[in-house]
Amino acid sequence: MRPEVTRQDIFGLVRPVLDAHTLGISSVEQILRDCGLRAVVADAAICEAVGEPSKPESIARLERWIRERRITRLGFSYRLDPRQGAEAFGKLLYQLHSRKLLAEQEGPLAALYFAGLPEACRIVKREHGDLVEVFLGDETPGETLDKLGVAPSLRPREMTEEIAYDDARLAFARDLLRREKHHAVKRVNRAGYEGFGTRKDLLVARVRHGLKNDLPPLMRAHVGPYLPDRIKAVHLFLDWARQLAQAGFLDILSIGTSQLSQSNFGEDWGDKPNGGGVPLNSPEEFRAVWDAARPMLVRTYAGTKNVPQLARMCEETINMAWHALSFWWFSQMDGRGPYPVRENLEQHTQTLRFVAESGKPFEPNIPHHFAFRGADDVTYVVSAVLAARTAKLSGVRHFVLQAMLNTPKATWGVQDLAKARALLTLVRELEDENFSVFLQPRAGLDYFSHDLEKAKVQLAAVSALMDDIEPHDPHSPPIIHVVSYSEASHLADPAVVNESIQITRAAIEEYRRLRGRGEVEDMAGHAEARARTDELLEGGRAVLQAIESAIPRPYSAQGLYQVFRAGFLPVPYLWECRDEFRHAVQWQTRVVKGSVKVVDETGRVVPPHERGRVAAEMARNLTQRSRNSPYGEPNTKGTKATKKGRKNTKRDHFSSCAFRRTADELRVRLEVRCDDTKESSQKNKSAVADSGVTV
């Protein structure tokens, strides 16, 4: 049995140089530092040595590092191929043993840890037993500390109290699943309003009907089986759609289309490789999905090529429930689309104008993509606000605000509440008679465990977290994106989707009942959550103000491109286009007490207003350099075009005073309008024309 950690212990954290996954290591480092313990993250030279431990010079270098740094506990992370990871750890362990570095050999290392994919962890545990503790990546902060051997007495009171909120939700979820409360959840009859289940059905109408009749939140889920035989895959999906419609638990079917459906729709795919998802490739197949899915609302991914044309096709075939766009993402920058970032933004802002004309809602598929690349929490918030302001200026009237929780999964629950509340506050400042906001929370993509029973518990726990965003509003959230509990294990079929919805609804209903009886904490007035929310609001406003001070027409395709290029939105883990966006990748981020913050080379947290000033100065320099480029501002003075451009520049900015309200004034306003699509389209066209803004 490993001895418990003491203040004298020093943790060494290593990974092979070819594995670029560093967020997990930085999270462990920070949580140890928060406990007052010492941790040393290996530099590139040591990581290179760890990847080739059989070389005499490599193991000699590693041993020297261990002894000079007085490492007593060694953690090894490998998040790539499972068998290669287990093999790499085995080679390292052999060399450590041959050098007599283990405590049982009177060496310095009292404990060894391995972090990897589930299969790698199983292999390591089978081959090395209790000699090593394994981390699958689904551990809570408390479970991480337990596995590391950090006793509760070494944990700071602040951390213990804040992690207690996460532990309490997990305990609630375990009890819910143990009692099988979710099996009692029944389907909801959504009928009773004009247009239900027809081609005139609208999201806002269904939300309005639910609010009026106190129905549970609308349930939305991605579904999309993939088979090598395209026709068989399409038929299987149509069968799944019919099953889901008949069961009646799912309200909004989100078609998980394949990569080629998004990038090469309507073309002859030949032998082109295709990603997972249902490979729809004709308008007729989309119409067949709508027919099979009735009375569910239906939507799908945006295209990555010819984006406006695909959006129009979706309107004509599946009566798109709402449109989602990613602006900077699904481009050459992440390898998901063919366009350079600037052209991608032009395609998406053009599509946004079509969305406005259609009268349909818009969802920004944006903030979590920044988080996937290491962005801090302020950037997560700011990116959504930029999208909301752009949408409103484009004439969009209804905004679906997706809030992906648990991203990264090292995020503490109180920080997730702060992020969601800050998002809501800043976006709702735009609300008026022509712009409404619908909250749609969801679990994180990599949040769930591969262990299905544990994943069900996690789903119930994150559902309780969703309800804590606005705990005193019985109508919030109006929409929930249900991520199926099998996410980390296998593709969700209709049975798994339906059970996931039952777990989500049961958790929310039971959690509300317990809160009403005072048996769970009321997070509405939680001091730490409020303080974190205020911090994000202050930081977000500082960055937004810096953007507006430095970027001409920031809510246009060119403006949004310059926002990213100048470094206002840090993404240290961006893999492609790093030179083009070098000012965005230059920032470092770190998990700090369950949140992600920008830090400098010494580990000091860089305040948002400080980095905003740096990015603003860079933006001005870039604008000056691009005066004579085709995309730059015209290099003339006093011309009609220039004066018009200046006029538009003013209109393309949002006054920080005009759109600011106090937190007390920001109550949930879900009074939705169900305008006739034709009338809505005409109003939106007029709004765009009156705005004087060219997006």
Tokens of 581: 């966006």
The residue type found at 285 is E
Tokens of 408: 């990264």
Sort residue 287 into left (φ over 0), alpha (ψ -120 to 50) or beta.
Answer: alpha
Task: For residue 249, give Cα distances in angstroms to 188, 219, 242, 489, 571.
Answer: 7, 8, 12, 22, 38
CA distance 682 to 695: 18
CA distance 467 to 417: 10
pLDDT of residue 161: 80
Q: Which of 281, 283, 298 is nearest to 244 (CA)?
A: 298
Give per-residue pLDDT as tens, 574-615. Answer: 989 999 999 999 999 988 889 999 999 998 999 999 999 999
CA distance 568 to 556: 16
**Statement: residue 322 has pLDDT above 70:** yes
pLDDT of residue 80: 78
Mean pLDDT score, 566-578: 94
Give the residue carrying structure tokens 């109006």: 478
**Statement: residue 672 has pLDDT above 80:** no
User: What confidence tier does 630 reach under pLDDT thresholds 50, 70, 90?
Assistant: low
CA distance 198 to 57: 71
Mean pLDDT score, 563-583: 95
Mean pLDDT score, 109-136: 94
Give per-residue pLDDT as tens, 270-321. Answer: 988 887 899 999 999 999 999 999 999 999 999 999 999 999 999 999 999 9
pLDDT of residue 694: 29
What is the overall mean pLDDT for the chain?
89
CA distance 54 to 331: 41
DSSP characters over 97-145? HHTT-BGGGT-SB-EEEEEE-HHHHHHHHHHHGGGEEEE-S---HHHHH
CA distance 92 to 90: 5
Cβ(605)–Cβ(592) below 8 Å:
yes
The residue type found at 408 is P
Mean pLDDT score, 485-496: 93
CA distance 366 to 373: 12
Cβ(578)–Cβ(594) below 8 Å:
no
Provide the total of helices (H) and of strands (E) in the chain, helices listed first.
24, 15
Tokens of 7: 């203040």
The residue type found at 144 is T
Give per-residue pLDDT as tens, 406-425. Answer: 999 889 999 999 999 999 99
Q: What percent of the chain lies above the pLDDT cut of 70?
A: 89
Q: Which of 308-312, 536-540, 595-599, 686-690 has the lowest mean pLDDT?
A: 686-690
**Statement: residue 158 has pLDDT above 90:** no
CA atoms within 13 A on the CB side of 134: 22
Greater model confidence, 8 or 663? 8
Mean pLDDT score, 564-579: 94
pLDDT of residue 688: 34
pLDDT of residue 300: 97
Cis peptide before 441 (omega within 30 of 0): no
Domains of the chain: 10-155 (3.40.50.2300), 181-185+322-695 (3.20.20)
* All residues at 6 or more sequence positions from 62 whose CB lies less than 8 Å from its CB, including other chains: 14, 46, 49, 50, 53, 95
Give per-residue pLDDT as tens, 233-272. Answer: 999 999 999 999 999 999 999 999 999 999 999 999 998 8
Tokens of 383: 């990116």
Q: What percent of the chain lies above the pLDDT cut of 90?
A: 77
Give the residue carrying structure tokens 């991203």: 407
CA distance 671 to 78: 49
Give per-residue pLDDT as tens, 327-373. Answer: 999 999 998 899 999 999 999 999 999 999 999 999 999 999 999 99
Q: Which of 442, 476, 470, 477 is nearest to 458 (CA)?
A: 442
Tokens of 589: 């981020």
pLDDT of residue 657: 39
- Rounded (10°) CA dihedral 93, 96, 99, 105: -90
Beta bridge partners, 589, equal 598
Give the strand order in the sheet containing 38-41: 38-41, 10-14, 73-78, 111-116, 132-135
**Residue 481: φ, ψ to 5°:** -90, 105
pLDDT of residue 628: 52
433 CB neighbour count, 10 Å cutoff: 8
Dihedral sign (CA 426, 430, 433, 436): negative
pLDDT of residue 157: 83
Give the residue carrying structure tokens 């920001």: 666
Q: Which of 292, 669, 207, 242 is nearest to 479 (CA)?
A: 207
* All residues at 6 or more sequence positions from 23 whose CB lies less than 8 Å from its CB, including other chains: 374, 408, 410, 573, 591
Q: Which of 386, 396, 397, 459 is nearest to 423 (CA)?
A: 386
